Amino acid sequence: MRIKENLSSVVSSIGKNNSAPPKKAKVGKVYGVVTTENTPTAAMFKKAGGFNGIGTIFYIDYIQSKTTIGNIGDDFFNKCKMARPLYSQFQHYPLLEELVFLTELPSPVSQVTNTSFATYYISAINLWGNNQQNSQPSNNNANLGLTFIENPNIKSLLSFEGDHILQGRQGNALRFGTTTKLFSNLNEWSDVGTDDSPITILSNGFKYDSNGNFHVEKINEDLSSIYLTSTQKIPLQTDKRGILNQRTRPIDVRDYFNSQIIINSDRVVLNSKRDEVMIFAKTNVEINTRNIINLNANERIHLNSDRVFLGTVAGQLPTEPLVLGDKLNTLLENLLDSLYNFGTSLSTVVGSPEGAPALDIISAAGGLLNDIDRINNNLEEILSQRNFTT
């Protein structure tokens, strides 16, 4: 393997390296962080460079900080040193009284001078192994900031081999993980599949076990989450278990193990600010609720299909066709016209001698019978060929 080949040159050079030992790492304690126009103060915001200085910290060298109790006055901050975040693509700023790793690198003007360097910080030092805060206060009263509140129930996510986890301070995280069948008892996504099957979990609002030492995502207990799976089965609890639709018979959510995306929360909103919301499916689209389904449109609602069925009868499709309104209206108008003409004819009949044929009545009755035959022949035209109900 290439790694083993490269190691040979490293091993052969052991004992031959005459370079100077690395310098001791520089550490500082944070007393202020620029996050807004007034944080830590308006003067310090301006001193750090305004909005271009967002993330700048005011710190004191670690040894000196052991006997220093900070305050939020400009006089104190002016005695502090400043350091900028090393990475511009990440915003992960330290809390007050956390320790940061510092390094000196070129400044914005180093292109025109050989002596201009600036101090940058990389990240807060993982002092306590606590993803929420790693401060080291000079007294028993930790001051983490103006708005940050520490939650004692927060636990770090349990990491499995190969996982890449980005975890926030207050119970939100993004896990790039895989199936881990050896530890399937410790997570909800490793019962099936192989150990190289990827899974991505975005979660927010963990339900922590106050007696636990770590946390693992639980889709039915965490407040909101998005799961992107490949071969995993996810035990999502839905309002309807088993066969959702007797006709289409989709696989139950908890039994499906092909790639899928699951969004789970107390409420899910899909909103398009400008254009359509589109849902496409290769087989079926299933919508289920215990209450009401509303379809609201300011203009029209279209249901287009070769067959539209309303309801089922013992799991079977309905067979009663709906009535076409315009055709039914025309048929009823024709029937009423015939009855009206028949009634009009009867209203003007003149009596005939006893035993003589009532020619006027016979003529009117014949016309009515002809109309009835014509209407009867058109009855099937009022029935829909596409829409059926129970």
| 172 and 286 housed in the same domain | yes
Q: Which residues of the chain have pLDDT under 50?
A: 1-22
Q: State residue 139 phi and psi, 5-degree precision.
A: -135, -165
| 163 and 236 housed in the same domain | yes
| 223 and 352 housed in the same domain | no
Cβ atoms of residues 179 and 190 within 8 Å:
yes
Domain count, the chain: 3
Q: State residue 168 phi and psi, 5-degree precision.
A: -80, 180
Whether residue 156 is contained in a domain is answered as yes
What integer pLDDT is reported at residue 24 of this predicted model?
60
Whether residue 261 is contained in a domain is answered as yes
| 159 and 279 housed in the same domain | yes
Cβ atoms of residues 324 and 387 within 8 Å:
no
Cβ atoms of residues 307 and 388 within 8 Å:
yes
What integer pLDDT is reported at residue 10 of this predicted model?
37
The one-letter amino acid at 340: Y
| 195 and 67 housed in the same domain | no
CA-based R_g, the chain, Å: 39
359-377 and 325-347 helices cross at what angle (nearest 10)? 170
Whether residue 136 is contained in a domain is answered as no
| 328 and 286 housed in the same domain | no
Alpha-carbon distances, residue 164 vs 7, 178, 234 (angstroms): 26, 10, 20
Q: Around Cβ 298, how many Cβ atoms within 10 Å?
A: 4
What integer pLDDT is reported at residue 208 of this predicted model?
79
Instruction: Please say whether the dihedral angle defined by the alpha carbons of residues 63, 69, 72 and 74, taken in this order, is positive or negative.
Output: negative
What integer pLDDT is reported at residue 55 of this predicted model?
94
Please give the residue range of the domain that contains residue 373: 322-389
| 161 and 102 housed in the same domain | no
What integer pLDDT is reported at residue 145 of this predicted model?
85
As a whole number of angstroms, the distance between CA 189 and CA 158 comes to: 14
Whether residue 174 is contained in a domain is answered as yes
Whether residue 384 is contained in a domain is answered as yes
Whether residue 316 is contained in a domain is answered as no
SS3 282: coil
Element (H, E) at 63: helix 62-65
Please choose, from the candidates 96, 190, 105, 194, the residue with its C-alpha nearest in 3D space to the C-alpha of residue 145: 96
DSSP string, 286-298: ----SS------S
pLDDT in tens, 3-62: 444 444 434 444 444 444 445 679 999 999 999 999 999 999 999 999 999 999 999 999
User: What ranges make up the beta strands (E) of 218-307?
Assistant: 224-228, 261-264
What integer pLDDT is reported at residue 47 of this predicted model?
95
Please choose, from the candidates 86, 30, 35, the residue with its C-alpha nearest in 3D space to the C-alpha of residue 59: 30
Whether residue 4 is contained in a domain is answered as no
| 163 and 259 housed in the same domain | yes
| 157 and 283 housed in the same domain | yes
